[in-house]
């Protein structure tokens, strides 16, 4: 059997972390079995679906490296197929037109509530005579199409994550609506129905999706049977929870993949983290791996039933590992858009070598790509902002003289190098008979505005290359950091 799986996002919002994680599991499973991963856009909700969300979803999947083999297919372009399938069920007497009005349904719900019963449709139009139908039509009533659900059925499947699952037909709310109201013909077919028609048509072998779809699975199994199709395997992956154990939501900061990208996570770090959200490799000490490596090991036996807690610290750690081990040219490429977004001015072609040196200087201190924006601020632009400690340092006795000494020595240097920079510092220490610490701290405060930061000599060399070191030293002597 060829494994064929799909991710079926609805374009009613940006690519959600939960959907993306479901995509990861589908992708891993497909690749593990040399199967096919299909992308299907479920855009039947015409009011809420938007093309920009579809774009966001496609971009997000591509960015994460979750390449698909077939699609994207759009449900909105497949309406005929669904209507034919509805017609087939009508012809076989497995579905029927239901003319119950919304007022009648409301009255039914009220009556059930009064008796303490769960709301359900009472199948009242299941066996209408042609005369009764004609009468309702004459009244101008619209109708929905309902699929007959046998209350006495027990629906059982062996879930690849959760084991044996069973549902009673009587818990499915009565005969289910499969197509929306219409006055003639078949109205817009609904979610649970079109998913099944598509999964049959696309020969999906394994339906892998979030556990919030479990109740749908019970209904869908009945639809597979009615349509005479083979029932696929099902795997319901655990939900993603916040640290308090509740479903991860917008309130937890971010929910979409594009948000994570904007926050400075790398695609590799994020996708690695998502792989671990509910799955663990056979060697559970192994935490850093590519999708391809995870695909070799992936199986549903190692997917947890319990919800997966979203741990920001772990994600940050993984992300930092990817950043620290990334070749500098690639890291520079990734950081440039964040600098551009922050409005920093540079010529990414001409200044490339300098930018790469800057990235080399910061790389080991980065957790997220966005950290590079703050950390490198002092390398862009004419003026420095002084921290309290930075200005205090510049007001220390001897600080101005030290800076003056450095400026004078710099004037005699045709080109500053690591060795000559060290020399200048030594000279000033000796000539002014001061501690080296005073020279280093004052130099740092003048150049960067602060007393902490990346390697001082390297920072100085970089500023020297773009001619910013002397103006800053001069400015610091005058302003003393105020
Ligand atoms: N469109 C559904 C969703 O976004 C997916 C349905 C499915 O995977 O069967 O939740």
Alpha-carbon distance of 395 to 4, in angstroms, equals: 70
Mean pLDDT, rounded, for 321-343: 97
Mean pLDDT, rounded, for 382-403: 94
Instruction: Name which residue sits closest to atom 5 of ligand 1, judged by CA.
Output: 8
Alpha-carbon distance of 238 to 206, in angstroms, equals: 16
Residue 30: predicted pLDDT: 98
Is the per-residue pLDDT at 254 higher than 80?
no
Residue 262: predicted pLDDT: 96
Alpha-carbon distance of 394 to 231, in angstroms, equals: 75
6 Cα: distance to centroid of ligand 1 (angstroms): 10
Residue 9 CA: nearest ligand 1 atom is 4
β-pair partners for 16: 256
Angle between helices 267-275 and 17-32 (to 10 degrees): 80
Q: 45 falls in which pLDDT band (50, 70, 90)?
A: confident
Instruction: Classify strands 95-98 and 143-147 as parallel, antiparallel or unpaired.
Output: antiparallel
Alpha-carbon distance of 136 to 270, in angstroms, equals: 56
Alpha-carbon distance of 67 to 39, in angstroms, equals: 9
Residue 35: predicted pLDDT: 98
Instruction: Name which residue sits closest to atom 4 of ligand 1, judged by CA.
Output: 9
Mean pLDDT, rounded, for 61-71: 98
Does this model's pTM top 0.85? My answer is yes
Mean pLDDT, rounded, for 348-356: 95
Residue 383: predicted pLDDT: 82
Give the mutation target among 16, 191, 195 for probing the ligand 1 site: most ligand atoms within 8 A of CB: 195
Classified as helix, coil or strand, 125 is: coil
Alpha-carbon distance of 420 to 119, in angstroms, equals: 83
Residue 413: predicted pLDDT: 85
Pocket of ligand 1 (CB under 6 A): 8-10, 19, 42, 195, 209, 213
Residue 359: predicted pLDDT: 98
- Mean pLDDT, all residues of the chain: 96
Is the per-residue pLDDT at 482 higher than 90?
no
Q: Check: CATH 1.10.1610.10 for 388-479? A: no
- For residue 126, the Cα-to-chain-centroid distance in whole angstroms is 44
Where are the chain's structural domains?
80-191, 328-379, 388-479
The catalytic site residues sit at 250
CATH of 80-191, one of 3.40.50.920, 3.90.800.10, 3.10.20.30, 3.40.50.720: 3.90.800.10
Residue 19 CA: nearest ligand 1 atom is 4
Class of domain 328-379: mainly alpha
Instruction: Name which residue sits closest to atom 6 of ligand 1, judged by CA.
Output: 8
């Amino acid at each position: 059997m060829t494994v064929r799986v799909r991710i079926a996002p609805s374009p009613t919002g940006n690519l959600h972390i939960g959907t993306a994680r479901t995509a990861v599991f589908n992708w891993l499973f497909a690749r593990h079995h040399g199967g096919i991963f299909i992308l299907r856009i479920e855009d039947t909700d015409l009011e809420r679906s938007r093309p920009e969300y579809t774009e966001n979803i496609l971009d997000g999947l591509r960015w994460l490296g979750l390449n698909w083999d077939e699609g994207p297919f759009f449900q909105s372009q497949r309406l005929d197929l669904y209507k034919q399938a509805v017609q087939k069920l009508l012809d076989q007497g497995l579905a029927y037109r239901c003319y119950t009005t919304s007022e009648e349904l409301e009255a039914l719900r009220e009556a059930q509530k009064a008796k303490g019963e769960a709301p359900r449709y009472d199948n009242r139009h299941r066996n209408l005579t042609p005369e009764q139908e004609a009468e309702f039509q004459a009244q101008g009533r619209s109708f929905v199409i309902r699929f007959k659900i046998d209350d006495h059925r027990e629906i059982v499947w062996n879930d690849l994550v959760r084991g044996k699952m069973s549902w009673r037909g009587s818990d499915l709310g009565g005969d289910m609506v499969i197509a929306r109201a219409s006055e003639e013909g078949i109205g817009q077919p609904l979610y649970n129905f079109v998913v099944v028609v598509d999964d049959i048509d696309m020969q999906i072998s394994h339906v892998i999706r979030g556990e919030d779809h479990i109740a749908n699975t019970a209904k869908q199994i009945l639809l597979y049977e009615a349509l005479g199709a083979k029932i696929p395997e099902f795997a319901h992956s655990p939900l993603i929870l916040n640290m308090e154990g509740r479903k991860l939501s917008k309130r937890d900061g971010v929910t979409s993949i594009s948000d994570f990208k904007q926050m400075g996570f790398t695609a590799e770090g994020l996708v690695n983290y998502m792989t671990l959200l509910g799955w663990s490799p056979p060697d559970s000490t192994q935490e850093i791996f590519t999708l391809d490596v995870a695909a070799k090991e992936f199986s549903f036996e190692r997917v947890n039933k319990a919800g997966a807690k979203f741990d920001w610290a772990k994600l940050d750690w993984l992300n930092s590992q990817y950043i620290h081990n990334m070749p500098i040219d690639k890291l520079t490429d990734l950081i440039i858009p964040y600098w551009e977004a922050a409005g920093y001015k540079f010529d990414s072609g001409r200044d490339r070598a300098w930018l790469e040196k800057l990235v080399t200087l910061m790389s080991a201190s980065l957790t997220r790509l966005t950290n590079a924006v703050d950390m490198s601020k002092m390398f862009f632009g004419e003026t420095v902002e002084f921290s309290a400690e930075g200005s205090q340092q510049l007001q220390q006795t001897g600080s101005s003289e030290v800076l003056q000494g450095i400026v004078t020595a710099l004037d005699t240097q045709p080109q500053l190098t690591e060795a000559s920079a060290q020399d200048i510092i030594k000279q000033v220490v000796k000539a002014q008979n001061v501690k080296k610490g005073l020279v280093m701290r004052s130099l740092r405060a003048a150049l960067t505005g602060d007393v902490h930061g990346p390697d001082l000599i390297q920072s100085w060399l970089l500023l020297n290359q773009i001619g910013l070191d002397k103006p800053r030293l001069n400015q610091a002597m005058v302003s003393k950091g105020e």
